[in-house]
Amino acid sequence: MKEHGTIAEELFREGYNCAQAVLIAFCDLTGLEKETAAKTAVSFGGGLGRMREVCGAVSGAAMVLGLVRGCADPTDHAAKTAHYHLVQEFAQRFKEKNGSVICRELLRGVEVQSGTDPEQRTLEYYKKRPCPLLVRQAAEILDEMLTEKR
């Protein structure tokens, strides 16, 4: 069976955005159907609708953590606190590898098309961007954390 990091990178290269690639890669653990995962995560691509805020790979990872290790009881303060700490730990590990969780900072120095529309996916697009590696790393960090936290 392929590792989640490999799956996430392949999904990104197929055209899914960074958040979709990470969330879909973990459908085996979340129980989501691929289409549901794609629709759930689509808004988070490009740092939230291409506004270059929190990296979509990070947002996708947070969704996975919520589905796999999250809490649903709004009155369970301890569970919510523990979950927020889990998300913060993920973000810290991602930052240690990449320097930031902010899309525009991760793309610093990369020539990007201006505007708010998603860029066309071409060979040149994939060559210049760190995104395939970022989705792979997000999924690998998730795998590490989910294994550690069992």
Contact 56, 42 (CB under 8 A): no
What would the pLDDT profile of 9-32 be if each residue is shown by its tens digit?
Answer: 999 999 999 999 999 999 999 999
Looking at residue 62, its pLDDT comes to 98
| Residue 87, Cβ density class (10 Å: 0-12 exposed, 13-18 middle, ≥19 buried) | middle
- Whether the full predicted model's pTM is greater than 0.85, yes or no, is yes
Question: For every one of its 150 residues, what pLDDT tens digit does the chain have, with 9 covering 90 and above?
Answer: 689 999 999 999 999 999 999 999 999 999 999 999 999 999 999 999 999 999 999 999 999 999 999 999 999 999 999 999 999 999 999 999 999 999 999 999 887 777 778 888 888 888 888 999 999 999 999 999 999 866
Handedness of CA 30, 139, 24, 67 (dihedral sign): positive
